[in-house]
Copies of this chain bind each other. A is one copy, B any other.
Amino acid sequence: MSAKPFSSVWTRERRGGREQGLSRDQIVRAAVELLDAEGLDALSMRKLGARLGAGATSLYWHVANKDELIELVMDEVYATVVLPEAADWREATRVFAYGMRHAVFEHPWSASLIGVVPALGPNALTASDRLMGAFVRAGFEGIDVDYAMTAVVSYTLGATIPEVAFLSSLKATGKSMTELQAAVDPILMKMAADRPNLLERYRSYANEGFDPLVARRLAFEFGLTALLNGLGARLR
């Protein structure tokens, strides 16, 4: 994986032809299905071929290699990001951020790919374009448009990736959240012993009823508004 990511799929000429039998779109669709159903580790060329009733190596006619395939499925994730229509830039940005978050939640396997795989596909670009529009209309000028946009995307990714990664590895164990906490808490408590701030924090979690899942959600909101406020201040 990832030896020479440039050339990306998007920088190559697409193979034109008759498109009988297998097609690239069909392959990508099947790959997303497989990924959604069984996760990133389960995606192999052989399995994917089998799912399509084809030999594994047939895929290589339509797709240069597995890395390319992954770029393609990632762009499908960007396709599911609901794009902002709102006029107000803050509202538009929120829609985008939550849309992105939602998209990754829907395709948990994308968490370990999303910052790492080049996002030059049509859907990724369209999403960028839309978000950028919001910042332009907001009144950001010059390179600040880029900066503001990057900030929002960065925050959204950085918040979402660990959250989704955690959730899907939790799911993989089969344990419930409370079971996990019961198992991990004592160890965490011991390790927090000589880390005063962490200790204090864990203590207060124990007092209040504390659901780390909703906490994460609220944390996302908190950070997003903080960031938007900070960006807004820049406008005046």
A positions within 8 Å CB-CB of B: 1-7, 10-11, 40-41, 111-112, 115-118, 120, 122, 125-126, 128-130, 132-133, 136, 142-148, 150-151, 153-159, 161-162, 165-166, 169-170, 172-173, 175, 180, 183-184, 187-188, 191-192, 195-198, 200-201, 204, 215-216, 218-219, 222-223, 225-231, 233-234
Contacts and interface: CB of A to CB of B under 8 A. Distances in A.
A96 to B, nearest CB: 13
What does DSSP make chain A's interface, helix, strand, loop or mixed?
A: helix
24 contacts: A2-B172, A6-B173, A6-B183, A112-B116, A116-B161, A122-B191, A125-B192, A125-B195, A129-B192, A129-B196, A132-B198, A133-B197, A144-B222, A145-B201, A147-B222, A153-B158, A154-B162, A157-B161, A158-B159, A158-B161, A226-B227, A226-B234, A227-B227, A228-B230
B230 A132 contact: no
